Structure 1
Amino acid sequence: MFWSLGKSLQTLKLNAADFSNPSLYLLRFIRVESQSLSNSNPTIDYLMESCGFSHTSALSASKHLNLKSFQNPDSVLQVFRDYGFSKTHIKEVVFRNPLVLLSKPTKTLKPKLDFLSKSGISGDDLIQLVVSDPSILGRSLDNRIIPCLVFLKKFFQYDRDIVSLLLKRRGSWVFRKFAKTMEPNVETLRKCGVRDEDIAKLMWVKARTMSRRPDEFARIVSEMKQMGFDPSKRMFIHGLCTVSAMKDSKLKSKLEIFKEFSWSDEQVKSLFIKQPVVLRASAENIRKSLEFLMNESKLSASKILKNPVAMILSLEKRVKPRSYIAQILISKRLIPEDKLVTLLMATEAAFLKRYLKKHQKQLPQLQEMYQKKLLGS
Structure 2
Amino acid sequence: MDASCLGSDQRQDKGDDKNPRNRRPQRSTPPPPCPAATRRGCAVAFSLQTNVRLLKPNRRSRRSRYPYYDHDEDDDEEEADEFEFEEEDDYEGDDDLSGLEYPGVLYSNNPRAPIKKLVREKPALKQNWEGRQPKTRSRYDTPEKIDALHAKSKASRSIGLVDTDNEVELKNESISRSMFHKLQEEYDFDDKWLPLVDYLCTFGLKESHFTNMYERHMACFQISQASAEERLEFLLSVGVKSKDMKRILVRQPQILEYTLSNLKSHVAFLVSIGIPSVRIGQIISAAPSLFSYSVEQSLKPTVRYLIEEVGIDESDMGKVVQLSPQILVQRIDSAWKSRFLFLSKELGAPKDKIVKMVTKHPQLLHYSIEDGLLPRINFLRSIGMRDTDVLKILTSLTQVLSLSLEENLKPKYLYLVNDLRNDVQSLTKYPMYLSLSLDQRIRPRHRFLVSLKKAPKGPFPLSSFVPTDERFCKQWAGTSLEKYHTFRQSMLLKGFAGKTGRRTLTSRR
Structures share fold, TM-score greater than 0.5: yes
Question: Which residue number corresponds to residue 358 of structure 2?
Answer: 236
Kept in 2: contact 1:289–1:311 (CA 8 A): yes
Question: Which residue number corresponds to residue 317 of structure 2?
Answer: 199
Question: Which residue number corresponds to residue 374 of structure 2?
Answer: 252
Kept in 2: contact 1:275–1:308 (CA 8 A): yes
Query: Aligned partners of 1:123, 1:372: CA distance in 2, in Å?
Result: 38
**2:434 matched to 1:308?**
no
Kept in 1: contact 2:442–2:465 (CA 8 A): yes
**2:171 matched to 1:171?**
no
Q: Report the CA distance between 1:116 and its aligned residue.
A: 7.7
Output the amino acid matched with 2:435.
I
Question: Which residue number corresponds to residue 328 of structure 2?
Answer: 210
Question: Which residue number corresponds to residue 270 of structure 2?
Answer: 152
- Note the alpha carbon deviations across 1:329-349, whole angstroms, 9 max, x for none: 7xx687464661111212111
Under a length normalisation based on structure 1, what TM-score does the superposition of the two structures give?
A: 0.64
5 Å-filtered alignment, 1:122-141, equals 128=245, 131=249, 133-139=252-258
Query: Aligned partners of 1:236, 1:298: CA distance in 2, in Å?
Result: 33
Match of 1:58 among 159, 164, 184: 184
**2:468 matched to 1:342?**
no
Q: Report the CA distance between 1:367 and its aligned residue.
A: 9.2
Query: Aligned partners of 1:228, 1:116: CA distance in 2, in Å?
Result: 47
Kept in 2: contact 1:220–1:244 (CA 8 A): no
Kept in 2: contact 1:267–1:301 (CA 8 A): no
Q: Percent identity at matched positions? A: 15
Query: Aligned partners of 1:317, 1:229: CA distance in 2, in Å?
Result: 36
Gaps of 5+ in 2: 1-153, 169-175, 496-509
Output the amino acid matched with 1:312.
S
**2:100 matched to 1:100?**
no
Q: Report the structure, 1 or 2, having the larger helix content.
A: 1
5 Å-filtered alignment, 1:1-377, equals 52=177, 53-62=179-188, 73=192, 77=195, 85=199, 88=202, 96-97=213-214, 98-103=218-223, 110=227, 113=230, 117=234, 120-121=237-238, 128=245, 131=249, 133-139=252-258, 145=263, 147-156=265-274, 159-167=277-285, 170-177=286-293, 182-191=299-308, 192-219=310-337, 222-223=340-341, 226=344, 227-228=349-350, 230=352, 235-284=357-406, 285-326=408-449, 335=456, 337=458, 340-357=461-478, 373-376=491-494
Output the amino acid matched with 1:187.
R
Output the amino acid matched with 1:239.
H
Query: Aligned partners of 2:184, 2:485: CA distance in 1, in Å?
Result: 62
Q: Report the CA distance between 1:138 and its aligned residue.
A: 3.4
Kept in 1: contact 2:358–2:365 (CA 8 A): no
Q: Report the CA distance between 1:119 and its aligned residue.
A: 11
Query: Aligned partners of 1:374, 1:317: CA distance in 2, in Å?
Result: 8
Query: Aligned partners of 1:57, 1:323: CA distance in 2, in Å?
Result: 58
Output the amino acid matched with 1:172.
P
Query: Aligned partners of 2:164, 2:229: CA distance in 1, in Å?
Result: 27
Query: Aligned partners of 1:269, 1:334: CA distance in 2, in Å?
Result: 32
Q: Report the CA distance between 1:154 and its aligned residue.
A: 0.2
- Note the alpha carbon deviations across 1:51-104, whole angstroms, 9 max, x for none: 734444224444xx7x6xx7xx47x95xx69xx94665698797525313445x
Higher radius of gyration, 1 or 2: 1
Output the amino acid matched with 1:292.
Y
Q: Report the CA distance between 1:314 and its aligned residue.
A: 1.1
Kept in 2: contact 1:294–1:300 (CA 8 A): yes
Kept in 1: contact 2:367–2:373 (CA 8 A): no
Query: Aligned partners of 1:375, 1:122: CA distance in 2, in Å?
Result: 37
- Note the alpha carbon deviations across 1:306-356, whole angstroms, 9 max, x for none: 111111111122212323345577xx6874646611112121111111222
Output the amino acid matched with 2:471.
A
Output the amino acid matched with 2:395.
I
Kept in 2: contact 1:121–1:163 (CA 8 A): yes
Kept in 1: contact 2:287–2:325 (CA 8 A): yes
When residues 269 and 295 of structure 1 are mapped into structure 2, their CA distance, relative to the original with a 3 A threshold, is farther
- Note the alpha carbon deviations across 1:161-212, whole angstroms, 9 max, x for none: 3233223xx2312112455764333222111432344221222222123332
Query: Aligned partners of 1:336, 1:275: CA distance in 2, in Å?
Result: 28
Query: Aligned partners of 2:342, 2:245: CA distance in 1, in Å?
Result: 37
Query: Aligned partners of 1:277, 1:127: CA distance in 2, in Å?
Result: 26
Kept in 1: contact 2:400–2:434 (CA 8 A): yes
Query: Aligned partners of 1:124, 1:321: CA distance in 2, in Å?
Result: 35
Tell me the C-alpha RMSD between the 2 structures: 4.7
When residues 135 and 304 of structure 1 are mapped into structure 2, their CA distance, relative to the original with a 3 A threshold, is same
Query: Aligned partners of 2:205, 2:427: CA distance in 1, in Å?
Result: 55
Question: Which residue number corresponds to residue 12 of structure 1?
Answer: none
Output the amino acid matched with 1:287.
K
Kept in 1: contact 2:417–2:423 (CA 8 A): yes
Query: Aligned partners of 2:263, 2:418: CA distance in 1, in Å?
Result: 55
Q: Secondary structure at the match of 1:297?
A: coil
Query: Aligned partners of 1:242, 1:171: CA distance in 2, in Å?
Result: 17
Residue correspondences, number: 312
Query: Aligned partners of 1:223, 1:298: CA distance in 2, in Å?
Result: 37
Kept in 2: contact 1:171–1:208 (CA 8 A): yes
Under a length normalisation based on structure 2, what TM-score does the superposition of the two structures give?
A: 0.49
Query: Aligned partners of 2:183, 2:378: CA distance in 1, in Å?
Result: 51
Output the amino acid matched with 2:289.
W
Output the amino acid matched with 1:137.
L
When residues 375 and 337 of structure 1 are mapped into structure 2, their CA distance, relative to the original with a 3 A threshold, is farther
- Note the alpha carbon deviations across 1:112-142, whole angstroms, 9 max, x for none: 9479849954998699487454311334777
When residues 232 and 242 of structure 1 are mapped into structure 2, their CA distance, relative to the original with a 3 A threshold, is closer
